[in-house]
Amino acid sequence: MRLAKLSFDAGLDGCVCSPCEVKMLRSIYKDNFELITPGIRLNIENKDDQNRIMTPHEAIDNGASKLVIGRSISKSIDPNKALIEIFKSIDSD
């Protein structure tokens, strides 16, 4: 909260935050303040070294502006297929 407020007050366009913080921050900072979330996993069981993770669909529903998705794609046997699955998961209700 403190760092998001500091970023906002400094006139920055947004901040990087845990997907677990996005909903709370979005309730305070509207859509003109970007909330960029790492720790996005297509499969919640694949935590790697991250503890605060969320699916792409959940993060967007909670108010994330942009998602940082690395390992779900880069560690996939078929990165193109992984990306398509991510797109599908975002579009699902």
Residue 93 has pLDDT above 60, yes or no: no
Tokens linked to 63: 């108010």
Q: Where are the domains of the chain?
A: 2-91
Assess contact for 26 and 65: CB atoms under 8 A.
no
Compute and round to an integer the Cα radius of gyration of the chain.
14
- Predicted local confidence at residue 72, as pLDDT: 82
Tokens linked to 22: 């996005």
Torsion angle of the four alpha carbons 44, 47, 53, 59, in this order, in degrees rounded to the nearest 10: -50
Question: To the nearest whole number, what is the mean pLDDT of the chain?
Answer: 87
- Predicted local confidence at residue 41, as pLDDT: 83
- Predicted local confidence at residue 26, as pLDDT: 96
What CATH fold (topology level) applies to the domain 2-91? TIM Barrel (3.20.20)
pLDDT, tens digit, 9 for 90 and up, residues 38-74: 988 876 555 565 667 888 999 999 999 999 988 888 8
